[in-house]
Structure 1
Amino acid sequence: MLLKHRLKQLRTEKKLTQKELGDHLELTPATISFYEIGRRTPDYETLINISNYFDVSLDYLLGKTHIRNSQTAKYLKDLPSKIVNELSSEPENLNKLMQTIYVAKKNNIQIKGLVKVIESVINAIP
């Protein structure tokens, strides 16, 4: 996924207009629009500001990974790579997985039990 798609996805997830995002980043709405249509590319400093604002890694922002940030990576380290690879092919699935893991950890549910359930679901996929 390209930067222009990720930026628009992140902005719409937060229900921000281009003007609102521009205000947060001290950019014009036109600049945000140009980034989202791929007409312009943010400079290094702006990429860092966008990354910080949305709490995502630069790799995620640039489309090199589906893992949004180091916190996500921390939660995923307990899971077998087969699960992570299968679920991370679709960002929506990875986001749902992250929410499930967060709730499980918050409620002191053992991740091992959660892994068994996820593995059984993945193994059932043809």
Structure 2
Amino acid sequence: MDFKVRLKELRKSKKLYQEDVASKLGIARTTYASYEQGSREPDHEMLVKIADFFNVSIDYLLRGEEHYKELASELNKRSDTRYAAIDGHDFEDDEKDEILVNALKQIDGLEKIIKEHLEKKDKKNNK
């Protein structure tokens, strides 16, 4: 799955029309439609706006869930990746993959949280 497909799925999951998203992003519907069609790619600034609007990371927009799964699989192959049993429960391999995928997504989300924190701090310091 590529960017244009993920973008369309995100919009549909929120039950929005292209016009709705375009308006929120401050662009023409035709520009937004061209992103979903793959005939045009957003610049970095617009990628940030799209990621913020849909509350996902830029990494997710560009590489999707598959990226996290591949990364989790690679991490699970390492001998230094350990899972502590909780209440004596050992994890199956597929559970380990799922745990890592979710953790990697959350780590990506931290970028957005840190950025927002720094922006608030800058505004506060500039007053």
TM-score by length of 1: 0.54
What does residue 46 of structure 1 align with?
A: 46
* Distance in structure 2 (CA, Å) of the matches to 1:88 and 1:34: 34
What does residue 57 of structure 1 align with?
A: 57
Give ranges in structure 2 of 5+ residues lacking alignment: 69-82, 85-90, 103-127
Q: Percent identity among equivalent residues?
A: 37
The answer to whether 1:30 aligns with 2:30 is yes
Which digits, 9 at most, give the CA deviation of each residue in 1:83-113, with x for residues without a partner?
A: 2536999xxxx8xxxxxxxxxxxxxxxxxxx
Is the contact between residue 6 and residue 63 of structure 1 (CA under 8 Å) also seen in structure 2? no
* Distance in structure 1 (CA, Å) of the matches to 2:40 and 2:48: 16
* Distance in structure 2 (CA, Å) of the matches to 1:80 and 1:59: 27
RMSD: 3.1
Q: Which has the larger radius of gyration?
A: 2
User: How big is the shift at 1:25?
Assistant: 0.3
Aligned residue pairs, count: 81
What does residue 119 of structure 1 align with?
A: none
User: How big is the shift at 1:16?
Assistant: 0.7
User: How big is the shift at 1:32?
Assistant: 1.0
* Distance in structure 2 (CA, Å) of the matches to 1:42 and 1:26: 13
What does residue 16 of structure 2 align with?
A: 16
What does residue 97 of structure 2 align with?
A: 85
Is the contact between residue 6 and residue 64 of structure 2 (CA under 8 Å) also seen in structure 1? no
Give ranges in structure 1 of 5+ residues lacking alignment: 68-76, 95-126
Is the contact between residue 22 and residue 32 of structure 1 (CA under 8 Å) also seen in structure 2? yes
* Distance in structure 1 (CA, Å) of the matches to 2:9 and 2:44: 20
Correspondence 1:104-115 to 2 at 5 A: none
